């Protein structure tokens, strides 16, 4: 690894002998801003691959975005966005085949003992680095003393990095949503499906945060998740987690206190996406409980989390991987948790049939603030009835019963489930 100036980096990036190199960069809250700015100043044309890319990103001709999970920085890019509809666990295979990267831009810790750490974001980056090294491409790091040094697949030998610049910038944190009565209601229902000694996967947001708060009295829990945030730190402090089992995730973000907690924490093991999101590895865990949300759920128990009214919003993410893995775990459950009513659009989140792409299906339960629809193993008619009577908002139920009847899924009035 050779530490250089920003000006020298711009020269190196500008000298790449490709008309439109494919650049993979750290995403989420680990975006390497200084490197992205240098890239923009040095290249007229390039393809930028990031997961959940934050804003702002260049909005101009010559820059093509690529991602299987759209973030604010790429959302609304129109024809300049190449959305890749695929499970995150398969992205490393993508790099090894038809979309091989030419450059990788990393946001890392400062060196320690001949290594740096990817800190809060591992994800698909290790696979990208391996592919670029095999092809003779370029690996660049922004060395930031504020990036927490984490262990596991996040640790890289310095020799894997060609060039580096030194930066010092505070890591971004998600905006705090605070408490919410509906989220607390949903969390209480979700928590009733989680026993002691379960293994958990949760995302980010009010409902996952509330669910973790509701689990403070559990004991022997384990974490095997695509991502974690402050709620896991709170569980650890409550004594809810099994101290003999490492906390495993692929990326993380949260408060500044959380970043201090993860730094050099021997309990935390960062793992590459093809490890955390492998359905076979997920299913091997005890009482694996996957808790995900959706933008809408239909009467056939299909969950949509990637599109809103035909417009791309995010992507499949890890939801399909964890839903399948949890359902194959002994004693496992795959839960979809969401509010029954979308306030901004003044519409039901339970719909007769999804018009947008399906993210996952065949769940153990659909849970809203209205109740819990236990649907695994039920007939399609029973599924529809349970979702209407136990998960849908009361204002939508009569409409849903009528639509259910027209679809051949049930009568227009509530009937016993079977």
Known catalytic residues are 226
Paired sense of beta strands 155-157 and 288-292, if any: unpaired
Q: Is residue 341 within 8 Å of 347, Cβ to Cβ?
A: yes
**How many angstroms separate the first and last alpha carbons of the chain?**
64
CA distance 336 to 350: 12
CB atoms within 10 A of CB 173: 16
DSSP 297: E
Long-range contacts of 155-158 (CB under 8 A, 24+ apart): 155/115, 155/116, 155/117, 155/118, 156/108, 156/115, 156/116, 156/117, 156/118, 156/126, 156/129, 157/114, 157/115, 158/1, 158/111, 158/114, 158/115, 158/116
Task: For residues 76 and 91, give the distance between their C-alpha atoms in angstroms, rounded to a whole number.
Answer: 22
341 contacts 349 by C-beta, under 8 angstroms: yes
In 3D space, the residue among 109, 192, 138, 112 whose CA is nearest the CA of residue 367 turns out to be 192
3-class DSSP state of 193: coil
Give residues with Cβ within 8 angstroms of 343, minimum separation 6: none
User: Residue 186 belongs to what H/E stretch?
Assistant: helix 181-191
> From start to end of 68-126, where are the E strands?
81-83, 103-108, 115-117
**Rg of the chain, C-alpha, whole Å:** 22
Residue 346 Ramachandran class (φ > 0 left, ψ -120 to 50 alpha, else beta): left
By DSSP bridging, strand 365-368 and strand 371-374 are antiparallel
- Residue 108, Cβ neighbours under 10 Å: how many? 28
- Residue 203 CA to residue 91 CA, distance in Å, equals 19
Q: What angle do CA 356, 54, 77 make, to 5 degrees?
A: 50
Classify 25 as helix, strand or coil.
strand
């Amino acid at each position: 690894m050779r530490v250089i100036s920003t000006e020298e980096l711009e020269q190196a990036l500008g000298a790449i002998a490709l008309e439109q190199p494919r650049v993979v960069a750290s995403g989420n809250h680990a975006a390497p801003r200084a490197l992205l700015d240098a890239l923009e100043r040095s290249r007229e044309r390039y393809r930028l691959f990031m997961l959940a890319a934050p804003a702002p990103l260049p909005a101009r001709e010559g820059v093509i975005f690529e991602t299987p999970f759209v973030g604010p920085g790429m959302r609304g890019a129109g024809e300049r966005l190449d959305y890749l509809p695929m499970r995150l666990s398969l992205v490393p295979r993508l790099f090894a085949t038809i979309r091989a990267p030419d450059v990788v831009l990393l946001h890392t810790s400062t060196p320690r003992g001949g290594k740096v750490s990817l800190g809060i974001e591992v994800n698909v980056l290790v696979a990208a680095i391996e592919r670029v090294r095999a092809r003779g491409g370029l690996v660049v790091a922004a060395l930031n003393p504020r990036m927490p040094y984490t262990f596991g697949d996040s640790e890289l030998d310095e020799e894997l990095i060609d060039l580096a610049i030194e930066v010092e910038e505070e890591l971004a944190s998600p905006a705090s949503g605070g408490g919410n009565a509906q989220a607390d209601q949903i969390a209480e229902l979700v928590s009733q499906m989680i026993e002691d000694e379960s293994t958990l996967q949760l995302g980010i947001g009010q409902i996952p945060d509330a669910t973790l708060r509701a689990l403070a009295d559990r004991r022997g829990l384990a974490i095997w998740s695509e991502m974690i945030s402050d709620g896991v730190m709170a569980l650890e402090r409550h004594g809810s987690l099994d101290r003999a089992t490492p906390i495993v995730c692929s990326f993380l973000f949260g408060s500044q206190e959380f970043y201090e907690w993860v730094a050099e924490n021997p309990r935390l093991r960062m793992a590459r996406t093809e490890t955390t999101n492998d359905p076979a590895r997920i299913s091997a865990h005890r009482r694996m409980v996957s808790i995900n949300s959706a933008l809408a759920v239909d009467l056939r128990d299909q969950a949509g989390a990637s599109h809103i009214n035909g417009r791309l919003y995010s992507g499949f993410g890890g939801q399909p991987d964890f839903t399948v893995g949890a359902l194959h775990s002994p004693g496992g459950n795959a839960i979809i948790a969401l509010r029954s009513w979308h306030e901004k659009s003044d519409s039901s989140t339970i719909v007769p049939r999804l018009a947008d792409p399906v993210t996952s299906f065949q769940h153990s339960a659909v849970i809203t603030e209205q109740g819990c629809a236990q649907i695994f193993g039920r007939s399609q008619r029973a599924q529809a009835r349970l979702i209407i009577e136990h998960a849908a908002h009361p204002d939508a139920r009569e409409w849903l019963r009528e639509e259910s009847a027209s679809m051949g899924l049930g009568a227009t009035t509530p009937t016993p489930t079977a």
